[in-house]
């Protein structure tokens, strides 16, 4: 669905991305992990055509991204930025139907036939009872659910998510990722998701891509990528790796500095910072 | 308030407001030093359209030559300022944004003052000298603001750039007034406080095309304007060509503002208060909010002008004094309310 080849991006002469290549197939969920400042969000900005790379190419559905018009692109790809939905006075239903925008005609009155698509999404996401509530009166978790519903109404073939679970409690984290998982299975959706939580990434993603300082550090299944050595090299933290007792996915346990064995106390990010 | 019935909301509100606007305009025409009846107004307007003249020539002159053009002009200026306010507030996602904060009005006012003071270009432009200069400098103010705000044009930098440009143009305007002679000073004073006194039909026809085309174009883009409320990034992700849409909308709103300032001077608070109130009444959907605000702005300015010319008869107040005296406390009250609800 999307192919990225040898992508370079600079901020002045400081490289933000150094020759990233990746691809996401239809129905696949690719997780991008890495420490703060490793270039994950830059990758999303290039992928959503908000910024252009200095070198390299992004192909969406086999065609260079720069050749797609904004509307055409929005019919193929939905993006949920890190900041989520702002506190807008529009109602839940109005925001979800904004997802239909790239499918609509140019006139203010066009899009009345989209009502069915919106209705279906509201039903699937369980937002019917909240349809007339204003988005700025919702909690962060509810708002994120509306953002996902808006993306569903967009009917994309590729979904790009930048840390969709960061500000949510554990119940909403699971509900958001489960919702995306079901959607992906149902529609054969390609998903590229940036996650900070390595344990969630290991459970939900088919493949993981570990980034360090703008470059690709490791790529493969969660079991291949998540090793104590790599996590130490990329994050500067000595983890304990175990296996999820139910799913068998690799899980990363962290040990507080005081409790860690003496030889592991040295950390890459010393305190005070 | 489901997405499908925005059309019925629009019909209901614009129907009500159109009726109220026509009634306000008729009442404004009747009210004044010569008392007239609504029937006279109806007869004069009808005789103009049918060609059958069965009206007292003196009544006809007062209504058709003096009061009607003034009321029609006030309505159009109100609609243009409120419409521009809706666009600026929607684009910048800031209920405090309006033509003034962006420096657009001050640019237009400086242009008008320069035209009156120097008379430059009168030979070529004739009656269009003042509006033409207002357009040129309002656009200059806009481009300065956009240039200062930079390529990314973040909301905060845009508003700060507006403040800077407004301060500069305001200083230039004061300078022009300071060096102007007493007679010119009185005329220039108009552009500072705003007035629709002594306006004729050609003033109304000067603003009409900008109002109709401007409001029409913005309304056609109101679906995209709605998406800006999710933030510019999200609007882009939903297929809006963000920079192009924003530039077209800003330019259109600037032209509507300049047309209004050229004929009436800088009248404050219409572009700030009216969209604010109408948003509370009809919701944030710009497909409804834009036409409804234009109608309410028209009604508000007709009423304010009637007050301005009758409250201290035979002296007239500048209309900007009335709108500020009503607008500022009202806005303060709304601000307190919204702060308490947060």
Q: What is the CATH number of the domain that holds A209?
A: 3.40.50.300
CA B233 to chain centre: 30
pLDDT value at residue A93:
93
Asked, for residue B157, whether it belongs to a domain, the answer is yes
Torsions phi, psi for B33 (to 5 deg): -60, -35
pLDDT digits (tens, 9 = 90+) for A104-154: 877 777 666 788 889 999 998 889 999 999 999 999 889 999 999 999 999
Chain A contact present for B202, CB below 8 A? no
* Closest A-chain CA to B225: A108
Asked, for residue B222, whether it belongs to a domain, the answer is yes
Q: CB within 8 A of A236, min separation 6: which ones?
A: A267, A268, A269
Residue B286 · residue B11 · CB < 8 Å: no
pLDDT value at residue A114:
80
Report chain B residues whose CB lies below 8 A from the CB of A109. Answer: 7
Asked, for residue B56, whether it belongs to a domain, the answer is no
pLDDT digits (tens, 9 = 90+) for A52-106: 999 999 999 999 999 999 999 999 999 999 888 988 999 999 999 999 999 987 7
Asked, for residue A85, whether it belongs to a domain, the answer is yes
State the pTM of this model. Answer: 0.87
Chain A contact present for B222, CB below 8 A? yes
Q: For chain B, how many structural domains are there in total?
A: 1
Q: B229 vs A88: CB contact, 8 Å cut-off?
A: yes
Report chain B residues whose CB lies below 8 A from the CB of A77. Answer: 237
* Closest A-chain CA to B227: A98
Q: How far, in Å, CA of B2 to CA of B310, rounded?
A: 44
How far is the alpha carbon of B304 from chain A, nearest alpha carbon, in Å? 30
Chain B contact present for A89, CB below 8 A? yes
Q: Do strands A2-11 and A14-24 pair parallel, antiparallel, or not at all (unpaired)?
A: antiparallel
Asked, for residue B172, whether it belongs to a domain, the answer is yes
Number of Cβ atoms within 10 Å of the Cβ of A71: 16
pLDDT value at residue B341:
58
Residues 78-137, chain B, touching A (beta carbon < 8 A): 93
Asked, for residue A210, whether it belongs to a domain, the answer is yes
Q: A85 vs B230: CB contact, 8 Å cut-off?
A: yes
Number of Cβ atoms within 10 Å of the Cβ of B15: 11
pLDDT value at residue B51:
75
Q: Comparing C-alpha atoms, which of B90, B95, B87, B92 is closest to residue B335? A: B95
Asked, for residue B61, whether it belongs to a domain, the answer is no
Asked, for residue A175, whether it belongs to a domain, the answer is yes
Report chain B residues whose CB lies below 8 A from the CB of A75. Answer: 239
* Closest A-chain CA to B224: A101
Report chain A residues whose CB lies below 8 A from the CB of B279. Answer: 89
| Domain limits for position A75 | 2-236
Residue A39 · residue A47 · CB < 8 Å: no
Report chain A residues whose CB lies below 8 A from the CB of B230. Answer: 85-86, 88, 95, 98
Q: How far, in Å, CA of A122 to CA of A126, rounded?
A: 6
Q: A93 vs B240: CB contact, 8 Å cut-off?
A: no
How far is the alpha carbon of B241 from chain A, nearest alpha carbon, in Å? 6
Residues 216-235, chain A, touching B (beta carbon < 8 A): none
Asked, for residue B64, whether it belongs to a domain, the answer is no
DSSP assignment letter at B31: -
Chain B contact present for A115, CB below 8 A? yes
Q: A89 vs B283: CB contact, 8 Å cut-off?
A: yes
Q: B238 vs A102: CB contact, 8 Å cut-off?
A: yes
Residue B302 · residue B21 · CB < 8 Å: yes
How far is the alpha carbon of A106 from chain B, nearest alpha carbon, in Å? 8
| Domain limits for position B239 | 69-334
Chain B contact present for A129, CB below 8 A? no
Asked, for residue A26, whether it belongs to a domain, the answer is yes
pLDDT value at residue B153:
58
Q: How far, in Å, CA of B170 to CA of B147, rounded?
A: 19
Chain A contact present for B241, CB below 8 A? yes
Q: Comparing C-alpha atoms, which of B22, B113, B25, B18 is closest to residue B305? A: B25
pLDDT digits (tens, 9 = 90+) for A143-169: 999 999 999 999 999 999 999 998 889
Q: What is the CATH number of the domain that holds B186?
A: 1.10.3470.10
Residue B282 · residue B110 · CB < 8 Å: no
Asked, for residue B125, whether it belongs to a domain, the answer is yes
Asked, for residue A153, whether it belongs to a domain, the answer is yes
Position with higher pLDDT, A45 vs B143: A45
Q: B2 vs A93: CB contact, 8 Å cut-off?
A: yes
Q: A70 vs B233: CB contact, 8 Å cut-off?
A: no
Torsions phi, psi for A158 (to 5 deg): -130, 130
Q: How far, in Å, CA of B61 to CA of B48, rounded?
A: 12
Number of Cβ atoms within 10 Å of the Cβ of B273: 23
Q: How far, in Å, CA of B20 to CA of B202, rounded?
A: 26
Q: Comparing C-alpha atoms, which of A98, A101, A108 is closest to residue A71? A: A101
CA B87 to chain centre: 12
Strand partners, A253: A240
Chain B contact present for A132, CB below 8 A? yes
- pLDDT tens over chain B, length 342 residues: 444 588 889 999 999 999 999 999 999 998 877 778 888 888 888 888 877 766 788 888 888 888 899 999 999 999 999 999 999 889 877 777 778 777 888 899 898 888 877 877 777 777 677 778 888 899 899 888 878 877 665 666 777 888 899 889 989 988 888 887 777 777 777 667 787 777 788 888 888 988 999 999 999 999 999 999 998 899 999 999 998 998 899 889 988 998 898 888 888 889 888 998 999 899 999 999 999 999 999 999 999 999 988 888 788 888 888 888 888 787 777 667 666 655
Helix, strand counts (H, E) of chain A: 9, 12
Report chain B residues whose CB lies below 8 A from the CB of A119. Answer: none
Asked, for residue A83, whether it belongs to a domain, the answer is yes
Report chain B residues whose CB lies below 8 A from the CB of A154. Answer: 238
Sign of the dihedral through C-alpha B57, B58, B59, B63: positive
Its ipTM equals 0.88
Q: Do strands A63-64 and A55-60 pair parallel, antiparallel, or not at all (unpaired)?
A: antiparallel
Asked, for residue A207, whether it belongs to a domain, the answer is yes
pLDDT value at residue B2:
45
Q: B285 vs A109: CB contact, 8 Å cut-off?
A: no
How far is the alpha carbon of A81 from chain B, nearest alpha carbon, in Å? 8
Asked, for residue A244, whether it belongs to a domain, the answer is no
Chain B contact present for A154, CB below 8 A? yes
Chain B contact present for A170, CB below 8 A? no
Q: Comparing C-alpha atoms, which of A37, A234, A90, A121 is closest to residue B231? A: A90
Report chain A residues whose CB lies below 8 A from the CB of B154. Answer: none
Report chain A residues whose CB lies below 8 A from the CB of B234. Answer: 81, 85
């Amino acid at each position: 669905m999307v192919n990225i080849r040898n992508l370079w991006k600079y901020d002045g002469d400081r490289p933000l991305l150094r020759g990233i290549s990746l691809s996401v197939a239809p129905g696949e969920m690719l997780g991008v992990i890495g420490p703060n400042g490793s270039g994950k969000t830059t990758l999303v900005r290039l992928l959503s055509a908000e910024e252009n790379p200095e070198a390299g190419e992004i192909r969406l559905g086999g065609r260079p991204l720069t050749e797609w018009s904004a509307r055409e692109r929005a019919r193929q790809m939905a993006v949920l930025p890190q900041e989520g939905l702002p506190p807008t006075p529009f109602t839940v239903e109005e925001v979800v139907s904004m997802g239909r925008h790239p499918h609509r005609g140019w006139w203010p009155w066009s899009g009345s036939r989209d009502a069915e698509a919106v209705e279906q999404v509201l039903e699937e996401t369980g937002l019917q009872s909240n349809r007339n509530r204003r988005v700025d009166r919702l909690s962060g978790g509810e708002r994120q659910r509306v953002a996902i519903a808006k993306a569903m109404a967009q009917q994309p073939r590729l979904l790009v998510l930048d840390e969709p679970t960061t500000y949510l409690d554990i119940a909403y984290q699971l509900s958001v990722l489960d919702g995306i998982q079901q959607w992906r299975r149902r529609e054969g959706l390609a998903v590229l998701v940036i996650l900070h939580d390595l344990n969630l990434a290991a459970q939900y993603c088919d493949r993981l891509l570990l980034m360090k300082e703008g470059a690709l550090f490791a790529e493969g299944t969660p079991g291949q990528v998540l090793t104590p050595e790599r996590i130490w090299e990329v994050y500067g933290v000595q983890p304990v790796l175990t296996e999820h007792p139910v799913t068998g996915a690799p899980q990363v346990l962290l040990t507080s500095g005081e409790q860690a064995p003496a030889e592991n106390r040295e950390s890459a990010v010393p305190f005070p910072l | 308030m489901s997405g499908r019935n925005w059309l019925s909301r629009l019909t209901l509100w614009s129907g009500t407001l159109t009726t109220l606007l026509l009634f306000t305009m008729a009442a404004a025409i009747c009210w004044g030093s010569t008392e007239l009846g609504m029937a006279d107004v109806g007869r004069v307007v009808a005789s103009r359209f049918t060609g059958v003249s069965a009206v007292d020539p003196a009544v006809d002159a007062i209504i058709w030559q003096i009061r009607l053009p003034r009321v029609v002009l006030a309505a159009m200026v109100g609609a243009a300022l409120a419409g521009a306010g809706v666009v600026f507030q929607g684009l910048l996602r800031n209920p405090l944004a309006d033509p003034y904060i962006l420096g657009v009005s001050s640019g237009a006012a400086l242009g008008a003052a320069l035209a009156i003071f120097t008379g430059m270009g009168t030979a070529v432009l004739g009656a269009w000298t003042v509006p033409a200069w207002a357009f040129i400098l309002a656009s200059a103010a806009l481009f300065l603001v956009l240039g200062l705000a930079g390529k990314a044009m973040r909301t905060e930098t845009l508003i700060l750039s507006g403040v800077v440009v407004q301060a500069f143009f305001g200083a230039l305007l004061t300078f022009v007034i300071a060096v102007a002679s007493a007679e010119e000073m009185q005329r220039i004073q108009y552009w500072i406080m705003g007035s629709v006194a002594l306006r004729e039909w050609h003033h109304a026809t000067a603003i009409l095309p900008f109002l109709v085309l401007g409001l029409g174009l913005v309304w056609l883009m109101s679906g995209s304007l709605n998406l800006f409320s999710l933030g510019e990034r999200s609007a882009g992700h939903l297929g809006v060509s963000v920079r192009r849409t924003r530039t077209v909308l800003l330019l259109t709103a600037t032209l509507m503002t300049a047309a209004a300032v050229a004929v009436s001077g800088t009248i404050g608070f219409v572009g700030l208060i009216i969209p604010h109130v109408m948003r509370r009444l009809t919701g944030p959907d710009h497909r409804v909010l834009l036409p409804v605000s234009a109608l309410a702005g028209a009604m508000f300015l007709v009423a304010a002008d009637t007050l301005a010319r009758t409250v201290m008869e035979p002296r007239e107040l500048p209309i900007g004094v009335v709108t500020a005296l009503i607008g500022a406390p009202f806005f303060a009250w709304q601000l307190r309310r919204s702060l308490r609800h947060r």
